[in-house]
Amino acid sequence: MVQFRFLGILMAVAIRTKKPLDLHLAPWVWKQLCSMPLGEPDLEEVDLLTFRTLQGILHLENSGITEENFHVMIPLDSFVAHSADGRLVPVVPGGQNISLNFSNRTEYVERALQYRLHEMDSQVASVREGMSAIIPVPLLSLLTAQQLEQLVCGLPEVSVETLKKLVRYRDIAESHQLVAWFWQSLEEFTNEERVLFLRFVSGRSRLPSNPADMTQKFQIIKVDRVSLG
């Protein structure tokens, strides 16, 4: 939990300093940080197999599964489910001792869904606690999950048009043919290659959500060819 709290501090510092972090978190984590409710589509987005398994248990129409053959066709026999790290855990206290059957399958699916959607609540709370040391966390509820992710992580795409706003020309005109070739070359780069270019000229791999917040510009300087001989 201390590490999650420290992550929250780093995320808040990224927002304050406008220096994004290259983080890859599940979409529902950003929603939880913004105090947004979670639902079935969130589980489907991050764990399609579990979602389909639960839906298969719940909706038995035209499946040929009846009360008589339920235990033969469904591989679970109690109120347990696989957690995010692959462990088989009870979805309610003592769930390993509660028999799963045809009549209580709806309750099981509801409990399993709620367990999976909220198994990271304490970790998310620790992240929010860490963020609260730097920024007013209640204001996060005014943001969407995507807006918060962009504030913390910046823009995933490094476009040439954005780079053109972050350059300063020295001893060379913007209209010079060499400059045109330079931008043409960057246009032909993949996004991953442009990220490497950004890291080379600025030391960062992400642009802030508002490029105007990046006060440090890189320079294009004309250098006369030096002959060695």
Q: For residues 48 and 54, give the distance between their C-alpha atoms in angstroms, rounded to a whole number.
A: 10
What mean pLDDT is predicted for residues 46-51? 90
Q: What is the pLDDT of residues 168-221, one digit of tens each?
A: 888 888 888 889 999 999 999 998 999 899 888 887 778 887 777 777 788 888
Tokens of 68: 């008589």
Mean pLDDT of 63-85: 85
pLDDT in tens, 89-135: 999 999 999 999 888 999 999 999 999 999 999 999 999 999 999 99
Q: How far apart are CA 147 and CA 124, in angstroms?
A: 17
Report pLDDT for 225. Answer: 66
214 backbone φψ class: left, alpha, beta (φ>0; ψ -120 to 50):
beta
Domain boundaries, the chain: 1-153, 160-221
Give pTM, 2 decimals.
0.71
CA nearest neighbour of 202 among 213, 182, 218: 218
Residue 226 pLDDT class (50, 70, 90 cuts): low
Q: Which residue has the tokens 């954005």?
A: 162
Mean pLDDT, residues 138-161: 89
> Which two structure tokens, joined as six digits, stand for 188?
């032909």
**CA-to-CA distance for 195 and 193, rounded, in angstroms?**
5
Domain 160-221 is in which class? alpha beta
Rounded to 10 degrees, the C-alpha dihedral 178/179/181/184 comes to 180
What pLDDT shows up at residue 229? 46
